[in-house]
Chains A and B, each alone.
Chain A
Amino acid sequence: MSAIHPPFVADAGSALVPLPYRVQRFVCDTDDTFTLTLAPQSGGEALPFAPGQFNMLYAFPSGDVPISVSGPAARREVLIHTIRAVGPVTRALAQLRRGDTVLVRGPFGKPWPVAQAEGHDVVLIAGGIGLAPLRPVLYHILAKRKRFGRLCLLYGARTPGDVLYRRELEKWRGRLDVQVEVTVDRGDSDWHGEVGVVTQLLERAQLDPARTVAMVCGPEVMMHFSRLALTKRGVPESQIFVSMERNMKCGVGSCGHCQLGPFFICKDGPVFDYPRIAPVFSTKEL
C-alpha cells in the first residue's frame, strides 16, 4: 500500500513568491531593448544561476515575465537581464530607474550544456534578442578558454540599429580566439557588415563539424533553418541545442501554460538537445 500523503518539506520557501531586487544599472541597448543590472535589496549574493536559465521578473504592480539571464554566472553579486519591451510587463520594466525595486523569482529551467561542450568546438547561433540568453555561455567559455576548442558566434539582427551589445561584439571580434560574425536582414548606407540571414554565416564558421557543439537561440523558424544548416555542415543532431519559448506563469511546471507536447518548457527546457525536441519542433499550433 502506498502512502496517501505526498512528502512534505515544512520549511521549503515557495518558488511562487518573489524576492525584491534593486535596479543598480539601466542601459539602453537599442530602441526597444534594455539591460537591467539587479542586486538583492537585502544585500548579499544574488540567486546563483547557470547560463541559459531564466528568472521571472515582476514589475510592480503589472505582473511578471520570464527573462533569461544575460550576464556572467561568475558575477555572484548581481543578476543581469536584457529585455525587449514588447508587452505590458516588459514596457513596465522599461520604465524602471536606478534605485527602483523589481521582484525576482528563479532561477528556473535547464541550462546550456557548457560542461558537455568542453573539449569541443562551440558555435553559438543567435537571432535577435536570442543573443541575450547565449551571452552567459560566451562569458563562461572566454573565462575558461583553454577548456574549449574553437569558438564561433554567429549573430543575425534585424537592422544595424538592432544589433545588441555592439561594443562587446567589437571587443570579442578583436580577439584571436573567437570568431564573431554578424549579419543583418536589412542594411543601411552606414552598415559595412554582412547583409543576409544568419544561416549563411555558418558556411564560413571555422569548425570541425563532427566535434562541434552548437547552441542556437532565436525565433523558432530561425532555429529550424539553423538546425538544417548545421546538419548540412555535418554537426551531429545530438550536439545541437536550442532554447524554446512558450507562455509561462509559474516557472515550476505546475501552471500548465508552457507545455509543448510532453514537455514543460520551464522545467524540462528551455534548453533542449535537438533529438529530444525534434518530434514536436515546428509542429503547427502544438
Chain B
Amino acid sequence: MTARESTSTVARPLRMEVSGLQSLVAALWTAGYRVLGPTVGEGAIVYGEVRTIADLPAGYTDEQDAGHYRLRQRDDGALFGYNVGPHSLKRFLLPPRERLFTTIRTGKQLAVEPEPVPTEKLAFLGAKACELAALLTQDRVFSSDQHPDVQYLARRRGMFLVGVSCTKAGGSCFCTSMGTGPKVESGADLALTEVVTASEHYFLVEIKTAAGADLASQLPLRPATIDEQRQAELRIADAATQMGRHLSTVGLKELLARSTDSPHWDEVASRCLSCANCTLACPTCFCNTVEDVTDLAGDHSERWRRWDSCFHDDFSYLHGGSVRASVKSRYRQWLTHKLSTWIDQFGTSGCVGCGRCITFCPVGIDLTAECAALQARTT
C-alpha cells in the first residue's frame, strides 16, 4: 500500500464540480458504504446520513468562541464552510454505548456470547484535518499489539474517508499550533478543498490512497489547472491565519509534568464545573467504563461499554474513596494527560487543536489560556 500511495502523492490534483460530489456520494453508497457527513441538526452541524448533497449544510457556517456556538448563514452556498461541530468521528468508532458480550446462566453454568464483530462499512464525507488527526490519535489507543480492540478496529478497517481542508478557521481553532491542519495532508482516502468564487464553485481533489484512487476513477474529474490549485492553496493559507486561538507547545509537556503543585489548578477549579462536557466533545478522549445490565430473572446479563470521563468523581474510585477527590486534581489530570502524559503513552499529543473543549465548556474554560497562564507563572 505504501508504494502505491507514494506514487499517488505525485499525482496532480484534480478538479471536481459540485455535481461530481453528488457522484462521489452515490458511488460510495453503491460500493456498500453508509455515507455520513455534515448535516444541520440539533442547532449545530452534526454528522448525519448523506444520501445526496442536498443533505449537506449548504450556506451554513458556525460561530465559535469560549462557551459559545451558533449556526450562521453564509452568503456563498459553500457546503463545507464551517469548522467542527459537537460530534466527532469518535462516536462512530467508540460508540457512546455499545454491548461487549452477553452472559446467560443455566443452573450453575455461565455461557458468554461475545458481541458480533461489526461489519457495517462507513464512509465519512467532510472530515476536517483536525478530525482526521484525532482519528489517528485514537487508533493508537485501540490498536495495541498485545490487546487490540476488536470492535473498534473492525469499524475502523471498513472506513472510507473523504477529508476536506478548512478554508476558514473558527474562534476556538488552533490546529496550526498542533500541526494538524488546516490542510488535509494525510489520514484520508481523498482530500478535497472547496473553492467558491463569484463565478465558480468546485473542489480540488487529491488522491491519498489506493482506495481513494479506485473511487476517483469512477468520478468525472479533470486535472486541475495551476490557477485552480493556487485558488485552493490561498484559501487554506487564509484559514491558517484566522486561528482564533494559539497554543505554545514548546516545552509544554515538561512544564505540565512539573506543574503538579501549581496554584493555578486551584484557580481553574474555582471555575470548572467538572461537568465532563470537554471530554465528551473531545475527539480523542477515549476514557470509558463498563456496566452490567441484568434482566429481572437474573439469568441474562449484558455488559455495556460507555463513555466515561476523568471529571466524574467515581472515575478514580479505589477502596472506599476517590483518588482524585477534588475538581482541581481532575482538571489537572485531564489537561496534563491531554498535553503531556499522552505523549509518554502514545508518542503524540492528545490534542489536535479542534477547540471543541473551549467551545462546549459551559463556563468557557479555555485550554490555551490555562496553558498560557501556567507558562506565565514559570517565566
> CB atoms of A and B under 8 A apart anywhere in the complex?
yes
Q: Which residues of A contact B (CB under 8 A)?
A: 1-9, 12-20, 41, 60-63, 86-87, 99-101, 103, 245-247, 249-257, 259, 261-262, 264, 267, 279, 283-286
Q: A259 contacts B292, CB within 8 Å?
A: no
Q: B156 contacts A6, CB within 8 Å?
A: yes
B251 within 8 Å of A (CB atoms): no
CB A258 to nearest CB in B, in angstroms, measures 9
Among candidates A8, A17, A62, A264, residue contacting B345 with C-beta atoms closer than 8 Å: A264
Q: B114 contacts A247, CB within 8 Å?
A: no
Q: A1 contacts B147, CB within 8 Å?
A: no
B131 within 8 Å of A (CB atoms): no
Counting from the closest, the 5 A-B pairs by CB-CB distance are: A256-B287, A262-B344, A285-B329, A252-B147, A61-B301
Q: B147 contacts A257, CB within 8 Å?
A: no
| Contact partners of B305 in chain A: CB under 8 A | 16
| Contact partners of B274 in chain A: CB under 8 A | none
Among candidates A14, A61, A63, A86, residue contacting B149 with C-beta atoms closer than 8 Å: A14
CB A111 to nearest CB in B, in angstroms, measures 14
Q: What is the predominant secondary structure among interface residues of chain B facing chain A?
A: mixed
CB B314 to nearest CB in A, in angstroms, measures 8
Q: Count chain B CB atoms within 10 A of each CB in A2, A19, A60 and give the residue with the most.
A: A60
| Contact partners of A15 in chain B: CB under 8 A | 147
Among candidates A4, A17, A20, A254, residue contacting B189 with C-beta atoms closer than 8 Å: A4
B200-236 interface code vs A (CB 8 A; 1 in, 0 out) = 0000000011000000000000000000000000000
Report the bound CA distance from A38 to B271 in whole Å: 50
Q: What is the predominant secondary structure among interface residues of chain A facing chain B?
A: loop
Q: B289 contacts A255, CB within 8 Å?
A: yes
Q: B100 contacts A285, CB within 8 Å?
A: no
Q: A5 contacts B320, CB within 8 Å?
A: no
Interface residues in B336-362 (C-beta closer than 8 Å to A): 337, 340-341, 344-345
- Given the contacts A4-B187, A5-B157, A9-B148, A100 and B108 also touching, CB distance less than 8 Å: yes
Report the bound CA distance from A71 to B90 in whole Å: 41
Q: B149 contacts A247, CB within 8 Å?
A: no
Report the bound CA distance from A256 to B319 in whole Å: 18
- Given the contacts A41-B109, A86-B319, A285-B324, A14 and B341 also touching, CB distance less than 8 Å: no
Among candidates B101, B139, B144, B326, residue contacting A17 with C-beta atoms closer than 8 Å: B101
B69 within 8 Å of A (CB atoms): no
- Given the contacts A17-B100, A262-B341, A253 and B290 also touching, CB distance less than 8 Å: no
Q: Could you list 17 A-B pairs, sorted by A, with CB under 8 Å?
A: A1-B9, A5-B156, A8-B143, A8-B148, A8-B156, A16-B305, A60-B105, A101-B110, A103-B103, A245-B318, A247-B318, A250-B290, A251-B147, A252-B147, A254-B144, A254-B149, A256-B310
Report the bound CA distance from A9 to B146 in whole Å: 11
Among candidates B2, B147, B290, residue contacting A3 with C-beta atoms closer than 8 Å: B2
- Given the contacts A17-B101, A17-B114, A259-B341, A1 and B287 also touching, CB distance less than 8 Å: no
| Contact partners of B142 in chain A: CB under 8 A | 6, 254
| Contact partners of B262 in chain A: CB under 8 A | none
| Contact partners of A20 in chain B: CB under 8 A | 109-112
Among candidates A12, A16, A87, A285, residue contacting B325 with C-beta atoms closer than 8 Å: A285
Residue of B nearest to A4 (CB): B187
Residue of B nearest to A86 (CB): B319
| Contact partners of B187 in chain A: CB under 8 A | 4
Among candidates B110, B154, B323, B326, residue contacting A103 with C-beta atoms closer than 8 Å: B110
Contacts beyond the supplied A246-B316, A257-B316, A283-B260: 8 A-B pairs with Cβ under 8 Å: A1-B186, A9-B153, A14-B150, A20-B110, A61-B292, A245-B318, A254-B288, A257-B315
Report the bound CA distance from A251 to B144 in whole Å: 12
Q: Count chain B CB atoms within 10 A of each CB in A103, A245, A262 and give the residue with the most.
A: A262
Report the bound CA distance from A84 to B81 in whole Å: 58
CB B111 to nearest CB in A, in angstroms, measures 7
Interface residues in B156-194 (C-beta closer than 8 Å to A): 156-157, 159, 161, 186-189
Residue of A nearest to B111 (CB): A20
| Contact partners of B2 in chain A: CB under 8 A | 1, 3
CB B256 to nearest CB in A, in angstroms, measures 11
- Given the contacts A246-B316, A262-B344, A6 and B143 also touching, CB distance less than 8 Å: yes
Residue of A nearest to B4 (CB): A1
